[in-house]
Every structure is written in C-alpha cells, then in structure tokens.
C-alpha cells in the first residue's frame, strides 16, 4: 500500500462509508516497470535492481584466537553436564506463589505457627545494657552514616502521586545496608555471650556454597547457591520436637493442591549434577549448622513467598547434611537435624525453624518434617519522601517506628543451643517465684 495524498485526504472524514470509498479507488497503486535510459543502454552499462543487490559480509576474526572476550558460547546440549532427563531447579529467583502450603507438600512437613517452645522462652531472657542506644546507632550506621553513593532504584509509586517523576537518587544499597546491620547485631550477640565457656564453639562464615538435591516423586529438585551467612557450632541444635511428636506426625494429613502440582513454579534444566555439598571439608571444625541468615534480593514478594524460600533453603541444606552423615540412600533419619533461618531485609526480620525427620518424599504417608514460621518483626520502618508537598520535612526519607522486639527475637535465636542458658532461665524462674 502506498499512502498517497488522496488517500490521506480521506482521514478528514472518518466515516466508514467515505473511508471504504476512498480505499476502493485510491488504495491500490500499480508500480510501473522500470525502463533503461537510452544513454546507458548505448554504452552497455548494466542496470541492477536494488532488491537484487546482495552485500557480501566477511566474518571478523579476533587478533588473538583464544581471547575469552570473544569466545562463542557452548550450546547447552554440548556441555559436559548435559543429560537427556531434565530436573527441577530452585534458586533465589523462584517464587512459590502458594507459600507455606506449597512448600509443605514439597518438604512433606507439618507447619506450626510462632517460635518453637525451646526458643520462645529465650526471648527477653538476657538483658543488654544500653540496648536502645546501641541499636539506634547500628540503624544509623547502616542507613545514614555511610559514604557510599550507588545508584538507587526508584521508590515505589505513591498513591497520591503515582506518575511523579522521581529525581535520580544515590546512596547505600538495600543489600549492603542490611549486611552492615546484621554484622553489627551478630557482634552485639557475641559480646553478650563472651562470658560463656561454650562461646568458643561458635563462628559464622560468609558466602557458603551449597549444592544439594531431593527426590520428589521420582523427580530431582536441585539447588546451587551460596548462603549469605551461616552460623555454625561445635554441636548440633537440640530437636525442636521430641520423639512422641515425631511419631504423632504420622496422623497429620498434608493439604493438597490438586490439580496443580507443587513443582509448578520450578524451572527445568538439562545441565546439572546430582551432588551433596555442605560447603565444608572433612578436616574443618565447628561445622554443625546453627542458623542460616540470608538477604533477599527481591523486594516485591509477599511474606509467604519469603517464608517458602526460607524453608527450601533449610530443606536443601539439611538434606545434603543428612546424606553426608547417614549415607546417600537414607530415608528415615536416625537422629533429627535442626536448623534455624533468619531472613533480613531493611530491618524486617523473618524467622523460620526446620526439623528434618525424613527424606522419603515418594508419598505423603509416614512421619513428617516440622516447620515453624513467625510473623514478620520490624526493627524500624522507613518513610518515603513526598517532595510534591513542598515541605522540607517531607523531602527526605526518615526512620520511624523503632521496635527492639525484633532484636530480642534475633538474640533468642542466637542463644539457642548454649548450655549455660538453662541455668540462667532457672535463676530467673526462682527469682520470679520468690518475688511473687
């Protein structure tokens, strides 16, 4: 179609009848065949159509043949770890939309709300001198007292001004501010427990690589990613539930998602290895897992999605540890393996607790694993700026709603497993009984 002046003139009258009339008589354009001028034909100069001209391209070759910058990627099917049977993959970008319900089907777990009783009684069991002043300084150090000037993402749209054009902002990123805050909190926890004789049996390691898998209804689910912080100990955590609770879990029926499979959100790949790596060699000390601390990179997820990611990390790590301790084909564990998980993002704490009792995921019958999840605890909140109101007090973000309860719960998670805490709790109970 050729857009002629006559055809475009019909746009003035947008009625259907007039447009069809113009299109009928002016919509077709017949291109006349080209003619060769006599001057060119007499000289024998060939004339070539534009569409018949085919450019010749030469492939550029790097001056150094083995330069890795210009190396061509190897196709997935030609890589060494390629296998014809695909498996499911879980990583930090996989979001389980049903949250706890979906992850309980995958982990064959029975969920509980709140903290386990052995951890809940440790909340507020130890007084921290000048706690409020120290925590507020830690918050300021992670949010304000920092010289970083990285490009920050745009703030979320405000309901009053959804189309407001934000000015480019620089400062400290969310991940780095969370890292500074968590390391300061760990240092404060270490100071409080430095007088314990068993303090030397604790340490934390950064960026621990894990490679694990589970077999769910005949299909493998693998995970290969580093843990941001892993707190380890010289002895395992005591079980959150006793043997009677484990035996009673046989009667629990896990809710179903039929006709949707729980693995609907996982990705598939043919490039994988079935390995079990906990990040430690056999000659290392203090390798008993205590608490996993991770910093979520996704800020648009709901709480249930973060909790599902927490349980998947705990499941994969404890599964690799169980195969390392009890053999590759272990199903019912001779001894439960427990681990705690803390997810921290901009002062928002999510706590999860996992007890691995079985690796038999072929059916829903038999004993179940245990999951404890608690509501989110906010150490502080941040108000977003509102520059359209022309108020100097609202042009910058502010830290509000300080609540030290989040740190009390974090400290309780850290204190779990210290044998000295039993005597401290007993003294507090005797003191409370005497005062009453």
**Tens-place pLDDT, residues 343-382:** 998 889 999 999 999 999 988 888 999 999 999 999 998 8
pLDDT at position 369? 96
Q: Which runs of consecutive H residues, i.e. helices, occur in 149-216? A: 174-192
Hey, is 377 helix, strand or coil?
A: strand
Q: What is the pLDDT of residue 314?
A: 95
Task: State mean pLDDT over 40-69.
Answer: 85
Assess contact for 352 and 341: CB atoms under 8 A: yes
Say if CB 143 and CB 172 are below 8 A apart: yes
Q: Which of 317-326, 369-378, 379-388, 413-422 bottoms out in mean pLDDT, i.e. has the lowest?
A: 379-388
pLDDT tens column, 73-118: 899 999 999 999 999 999 888 999 999 999 999 999 999 999 999 9
What pLDDT does 12 receive?
Answer: 58
Q: Which of 195, 162, 187 is nearest to 386 (CA)?
A: 162
Give CA–CA dist 127/145, Å, rounded.
27
Task: Answer whether 367's CB lies under 8 Å from 246's CB.
Answer: yes
CB 7 within 8 A of CB 26: yes
Q: Residue 239 in 3-state DSSP?
A: coil
Q: Report the distance separating Cα 354 and Cα 333, nearest Å.
A: 14
Asked if the model's pLDDT at residue 131 lies above 80, the reply is yes
Mean local confidence (pLDDT), 227-250: 93
Within its chain, how far is the Cα of 66 from the centroid?
36
pLDDT reported for residue 322: 93
Please give the radius of gyration of the chain, using alpha carbons only, rounded to the nearest integer: 32
Give the pLDDT band of residue 13 (cuts 50, 70, 90): low
d(CA 400, CA 414): 26
Position 1 scores a pLDDT of 53
The pLDDT assigned to 162 comes to: 82
Note the pLDDT of residue 187: 94
Length of the chain: 436
How high is the pLDDT of residue 87? Answer: 94
> Phi first, then psi: what are they for 224, rounded to 5°?
-135, 100
Q: What average pLDDT does the structure give for the chain?
A: 87
Residue-wise pLDDT for 193-225, tens only, equals 998 988 888 999 999 989 999 999 888 999 988
Which tens digits make up the pLDDT trace of 163-186?
888 888 888 888 899 999 999 999
Which tens digit of pLDDT belongs to each residue from 145-158?
888 888 888 877 77
Q: What is the pLDDT of residue 363?
A: 84
């Amino acid at each position: 179609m050729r857009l002629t002046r006559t055809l475009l003139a019909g746009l003035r009258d947008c009625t259907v009848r007039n447009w069809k009339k113009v299109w009928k008589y002016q919509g077709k354009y017949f291109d006349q065949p080209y003619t060769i001028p006599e001057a060119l034909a007499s000289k024998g100069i060939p004339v070539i159509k534009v569409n018949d001209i085919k450019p010749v391209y030469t492939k550029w070759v790097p001056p150094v043949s083995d330069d890795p910058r210009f190396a061509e990627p190897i196709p997935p099917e030609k890589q060494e770890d390629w296998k014809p049977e695909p498996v499911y993959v879980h990583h930090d970008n996989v979001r389980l939309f049903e949250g706890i319900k979906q992850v309980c089907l995958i982990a064959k777990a029975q969920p509980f709300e709140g903290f386990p009783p052995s951890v809940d009684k440790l909340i507020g069991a130890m007084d921290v001198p000048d706690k409020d002043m120290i925590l507020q300084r830690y918050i300021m150090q992670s949010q304000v007292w920092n010289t970083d000037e990285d490009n920050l993402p745009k703030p979320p749209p405000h309901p009053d001004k959804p189309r407001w054009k934000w000015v480019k902002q620089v400062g400290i990123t969310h991940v780095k501010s969370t890292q500074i805050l968590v390391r300061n909190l760990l240092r404060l926890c270490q100071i409080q427990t430095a007088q314990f004789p068993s303090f030397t049996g604790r340490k934390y390691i950064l960026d621990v690589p894990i490679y694990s898998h589970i077999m769910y209804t005949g299909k493998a689910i693998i995970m290969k990613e580093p843990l941001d912080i892993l707190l380890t100990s010289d002895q395992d955590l005591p079980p959150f539930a006793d043997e009677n609770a484990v035996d009673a879990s046989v009667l629990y029926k896990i809710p179903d998602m039929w006709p949707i499979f729980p693995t609907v959100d996982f990705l598939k790949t043919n490039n994988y290895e079935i390995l079990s790596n906990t990040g430690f060699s056999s000659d290392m000390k203090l390798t008993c897992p205590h608490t996993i601390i991770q910093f979520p990179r996704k800020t648009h997820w709901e709480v249930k999605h973060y909790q599902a990611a927490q349980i998947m990390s705990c499941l994969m790590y404890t599964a690799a540890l169980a195969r390392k301790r009890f053999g590759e084909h272990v199903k019912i564990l001779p001894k439960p393996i427990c681990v705690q998980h803390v997810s921290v993002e901009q002062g928002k704490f999510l706590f999860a607790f996992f007890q691995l009792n079985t690796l038999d995921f072929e059916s829903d019958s038999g004993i179940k694993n245990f999951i404890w999840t608690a509501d989110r605890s906010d150490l502080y909140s941040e108000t977003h700026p509102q520059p359209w109101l022309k108020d100097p007090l609202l042009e910058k973000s502010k830290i509000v709603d300080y609540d030290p309860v989040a740190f009390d719960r974090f400290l309780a998670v850290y204190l779990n497993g210290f044998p000295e805490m039993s005597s401290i709790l007993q003294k507090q109970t005797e003191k409370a009984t005497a005062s009453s």
